Amino acid sequence: MEWISLISMWLIPIFIAFILLYGTLKKVPAYEKFVEGGKEGIHIAVSIIPYLIGMMVAIGIFRASGALDSLVGMLKPLLVWIGLPPEVFPLAIIRPISGNAALGMVSDLLAVHGPDSYIGRLASVIQGSTDTTFYVLTVYFGAVGIKKMGDALKVGLLADIAGFIAAVLIVTWMFGQG
Amino acid sequence: MVNWIWVGMTVVGLIFAAVNGKMEEVNKAIFQSSAEAVTICIGLISVLVFWLGLMRIAEEAGLLQKLSRLFKPIVAKLFPEVPADHPAMGYIISNMTANLFGLGNAATPLGIKAMEELKRLNGGKTEASRSMITFLAINTSSITLIPTTVLAIRFSYDSAAPAEIVAPAIIATACSTVAAVLIDRFFYLRRKRKGGN
């Protein structure tokens, strides 16, 4: 744990120092270019607001109405058959939709089952090895104004499913189901 | 596709709320979620401004081109439509590098820049190009070496070995990335057979 947090702590500062020194060495007017590039950031952040509001409100309604719980209940027999513990399933459904909600679920699972249980480990691996597909899609496509997503969502969600299956197999293989 | 999902989620949710008598919760959720979305975007401003500013320096200094030349052989295979010395390649690679080190905050602005360049390559069309779909597929399966947030949570719940999930997470993420690339290729070939792009 010690060395990991140490690396994480040093990585960003070293990265920043490297870019500034390298830029200066190459005679780039660093501060002026920084401001120039930064201005773009404000525009991007503001322009994704409507995309994010639209998506998050729909997800919020879906969750608060109990529709999500019903969906989870309906799919339960299938999951038990695959070998995914039902407790972890809501996480698998939420993970692609909302990163914050997923994080909330992970800490809930760790609190109830303990971080070193099968469910605790599985939840940790799932959270650590997948990303919020909907959020990534919304932000990236929203920021540059892509209206037709093509197969992007399908590909992203299928890849998530592959990730979950891999997580179940690997955790079971490494630690057993105890 | 998005339109259907969006309307579907909302309408199904509203019908469920009507049947289950959860209207009060739904009303709350509408305002809470929209407020949360704005909070996220405002929070993104600081990160976006800082990293895009920094990246502009790196770009002017020629660092992106250098980086992309280094990883070109691998990444070029994944993005056959992107010319090797195009700025898009540099941004794609820096985005992947940032993700790899778990710097999600740094990865987002780079990913957006990559998308912008890919859109330019695609003639500014509002339709997702093949490269964009590949890029998103790789991004959503998120290749991470150190899942810092999860480690922090495990630590706070007094795990006997918080870091023991790092190795399985790397293997799982590698599996899902390979799967993402394969699934993406499959859909691309299917589109091509149907005569699309």
pLDDT, one tens digit per residue, over B99-139 is: 776 666 678 888 999 999 999 999 989 899 999 999 999 88
Question: What sign has the CA pseudo-torsion B128, B133, B134, B136?
Answer: positive
Contact A23 B61 (CB under 8 A): yes
What is the model's pLDDT at position A13? 84
- Are residues A98 and A92 in contact, defined by beta-carbon separation less than 8 angstroms? no
* Tens of pLDDT, residues B135-161: 999 888 767 766 767 777 788 788 888
Contact A66 B17 (CB under 8 A): yes
Average pLDDT, chain B: 85
Cα separation, A161 vs B179, in Å, equals 9
What is the model's pLDDT at position B50? 87
What is the model's pLDDT at position B115? 94
What is the model's pLDDT at position A56? 81
- Bridge partners of B28, per DSSP, are none
What is the model's pLDDT at position B131? 93
Residue of chain B with shortest Cα separation from A37: B53
Tell which wins on pLDDT, B195 or A136. Answer: A136
Q: Give the residue from B5, B55, B136 with the most A CB atoms within 10 Å of its CB, the best one to mutate.
A: B136
Phi, psi of A148 (to 5 degrees): -105, 115
Contact A64 B54 (CB under 8 A): no
What is the model's pLDDT at position A8? 59
Please list every residue in chain A whose beta carbon sits closer than 8 Å to the beta carbon of residue B61.
Answer: 19, 22-23, 25-26, 28
- Are residues A175 and A118 in contact, defined by beta-carbon separation less than 8 angstroms? yes
What is the model's pLDDT at position B19? 93
Q: Give the residue from B118, B153, B190 with the most A CB atoms within 10 Å of its CB, the best one to mutate.
A: B153
Average pLDDT, chain A: 84
Q: What is the largest CA-CA distance in chain A?
A: 64
Contact B30 A163 (CB under 8 A): no
The three-class DSSP label of residue A145 is coil
Tell which wins on pLDDT, B153 or B38. Answer: B38
Contact A61 B50 (CB under 8 A): no
Contact A129 B142 (CB under 8 A): yes
What is the model's pLDDT at position A48? 78
Nearest Cβ partner of B175 from A64, A131, A162?
A162
Please list every residue in chain A whose beta carbon sits closer than 8 Å to the beta carbon of residue B103.
Answer: 11-12
Distance between first and last Cα of chain B: 18
Contact A20 B57 (CB under 8 A): yes
Contact A129 B147 (CB under 8 A): yes
Cα separation, B192 vs B179, in Å, equals 20
- Spell out the SS3 assignment of chain B: CHHHHHHHHHHHHHHHHHHHCCHHHHHHHHHHHHHHHHHHHHHHHHHHHHHHHHHHHHHHCCHHHHHHHHHHHHHHHHCCCCCCCCHHHHHHHHHHHHHHCCCHHHHHHHHHHHHHHHHHHCCCCCECCHHHHHHHHHHHCCCCCCCHHHHHHHHHCCCCCHHHHHHHHHHHHHHHHHHHHHHHHHHHHHHHHCCCC
| Domain ranges for chain A | 50-175
Q: Give the residue from A126, A131, A139 with the most B CB atoms within 10 Å of its CB, the best one to mutate.
A: A131
| Residue A106 pLDDT grade (very low, low, confident, very high; cuts 50, 70, 90) | confident
| Residue A3 pLDDT grade (very low, low, confident, very high; cuts 50, 70, 90) | low
- Residue B142, judged by CB atoms within 10 A of its CB (0-12, 13-18, 19+), counts as buried
Q: Looking at CA atoms only, how far is residue A170 from chain B in angstroms?
A: 6
Residue of chain A with shortest Cα separation from B114: A140
* Tens of pLDDT, residues A117-164: 999 999 999 888 888 888 888 889 988 888 888 888 889 888 888 888
Contact B140 A96 (CB under 8 A): yes
Nearest Cβ partner of A61 from B2, B29, B111?
B29
* Tens of pLDDT, residues A57-91: 888 898 889 888 888 788 778 777 767 787 788 78
| Residue B197 pLDDT grade (very low, low, confident, very high; cuts 50, 70, 90) | low
Contact A57 B34 (CB under 8 A): yes
What is the model's pLDDT at position B101? 65
| Residue A178 pLDDT grade (very low, low, confident, very high; cuts 50, 70, 90) | low
What is the model's pLDDT at position A17? 94
pLDDT at B187 > cutoff 90: yes
Percent of chain A with pLDDT over 70: 93
| Average pLDDT of span B54-83 | 84
